[in-house]
Amino acid sequence: MAEADPQTTFNIHEAKTQFSRLVRRAHAGEEIIVARDGEPYARLMPLAEEPRMVRQPGRYAHLLEHVSEEDVMAPCFTEEELDEIENASIFPPE
């Protein structure tokens, strides 16, 4: 088994040729420095995990305060429209 590479600074050409390996190391928690002409130029480091929102049932209930139960339970179609939908042929006329 190969030992871990203790080097953390790489020149741009070296970083390009080993990019996948360096990204894996950064993801594992290492900070990798990419240098240009021997001067630190960029840093590869793991992304901080973003906190996930915890689901809170009912958090939008206040949006329905001004909506009456009749409006919510009102039918979307009239009886005539429902009859037309139910009796319509699924095949268009030729």
Q: What is the pLDDT of residues 24-64, one digit of tens each?
A: 999 999 999 999 998 999 999 998 888 888 888 888 888 88
* Distance (Å, whole) CA 54 – CA 3: 41
Please report the pLDDT score of residue 40 as a whole number: 93
Q: What is the DSSP letter of 63?
A: G
In DSSP terms, 25 is beta-bridged to none
Does the pTM surpass 0.85? The reply is no
Q: Which amino acid is at 23?
A: V
HSE toward the beta carbon, residue 64, CA cutoff 13 A = 9
Tokens of 80: 């005539």
Q: What are the sequence ranges of the domains in the chain?
A: 9-44
